Amino acid sequence: MDIKREDLLQLYYYLKLTRRLEDRVTSLYHQGKILGGAWTSNGTEAVSVGYGYALEKNDIAAPYFRDMGAFLVRGISAKRIMAQYLGKKTGVTGGKEGNVHIGDLNFGVFAFPSHLADNYPVGTGAALAFKMRGEKRVVAACTGDGGTSRGDFHEGMNFAAVRKLPIVFICNNNQYAYTTPLRLQMAIKDVAERALAYGIPSKIVDGNNIVEVYTAAKEAYEIARNGGGPTFIECKTMRMHGHSEHDSAKYVPKELLEEWKKKDPISNMEKYLLENTIDGKDELEGIDSRVKKEIEEAEAFAEESPYPTPEDGLKGVYATPGEEM
């Protein structure tokens, strides 16, 4: 698939934005400034940026908690996300929640009901609505490897397959579900084998190669959009930080982290761009300066924003009747 130069550079920009935003959140967490925990996608950013960027404007993303890239790509700003982490009124949930349980229907992003795979059946419901209304829209739902061991994963996948719904299921297989390594999670080699049980075609991609993730997602969305039903995409990657920033991840062998460090998704994309798209590092440095500035401005915005009042807690609790996605 030919990807336009402009899109390749945008993919790089979003990878950097996601990494820098979450690195800053990590520092703030260790300074005690974050209200709640800090779960990051460090090392796996190419998954959420890739599948998020491949969606069209009217599509729906049903991300899980390690999908910061998808939130940003869809248009939820770094400012609002930083304010969210600091518990401010200007955050995505208006200060009701302190971390990543975020979504915004204005940008076609569902807030996930839990960290596990419940967004699979939720996304499936939206795909059913699109099919019933005859709309050419698709849903992308993502979960971790651990999430695929749960019942909601099964229910979402099975229903979508039976009804041939326009949904693409993504799996961020980052080798660990909290402390549980993949070999203690399932007796099969590839998570993708699970899709076979539902009659869903699957694809395994290098989750640290954003061009591969983007291409696989784009192709699967087109199949779904044209009535071909769901695809399951397993993105093989590695969670490079703890489950969240409170977790030192001592249980992960150092050699495994060293091996995956060499396959960092951002370094991979830099190499790809230098070999195929750009003439020198200047353009990359320009993008990085832009990202740095954006994160500094986001932090300043969040710091200056007010906390919500008790009355604010009563607003936005229920959907407004008649509102449609």
Question: Would strands 202-206 and 139-144 be described as parallel, antiparallel, or unpaired?
Answer: unpaired
Return the SS3 of 9.
Answer: helix
Count of beta carbons in the 10 Å neighbourhood of residue 30: 12
To the query of whether residue 150 is one of the catalytic residues in this protein, the response is no
Token pair recorded at residue 175: 């080798």
To the query of whether residue 246 is one of the catalytic residues in this protein, the response is no
Q: Considering the complex, what minimum distance in angstroms separates the CB of residue 112 from ligand TPP?
A: 10
Quick note: the x/- pattern for ligand TPP over 238-267, rule CB under 6 A, is -x---x------------------------
Annotated catalytic residue, options 246, 251, 290, 307: 251
Contact between 116 and ligand TPP by CB under 6 A: the answer reads yes
Q: Considering the complex, what minimum distance in angstroms separates the CB of residue 70 from ligand TPP?
A: 13
To the query of whether residue 243 is one of the catalytic residues in this protein, the response is yes
Closest C-alpha to 302, from 99, 100, 92, 83: 83
Contacts of 295 (CB under 8 A, 6+ apart): 17, 20, 21, 24, 78, 82
Quick note: the x/- pattern for ligand TPP over 129-168, rule CB under 6 A, is --------------xxxxx---------------------
- The position carrying tokens 């995409």 is 233
Closest C-alpha to 266, from 194, 186, 211: 211
| Size of site (CB under 6 A) for ligand TPP | 16
| Residue 157 C-alpha from the chain's centroid | 19
Contact between 63 and ligand TPP by CB under 6 A: the answer reads no
Annotated catalytic residue, options 243, 272, 290, 307: 243
Annotated catalytic residue, options 239, 241, 290, 318: 239
Give catalytic residue positions: 239, 243, 251
Q: Could you list the residues that contact ligand TPP (CB under 6 A)? A: 66, 114-116, 143-147, 172, 174, 176-178, 239, 243
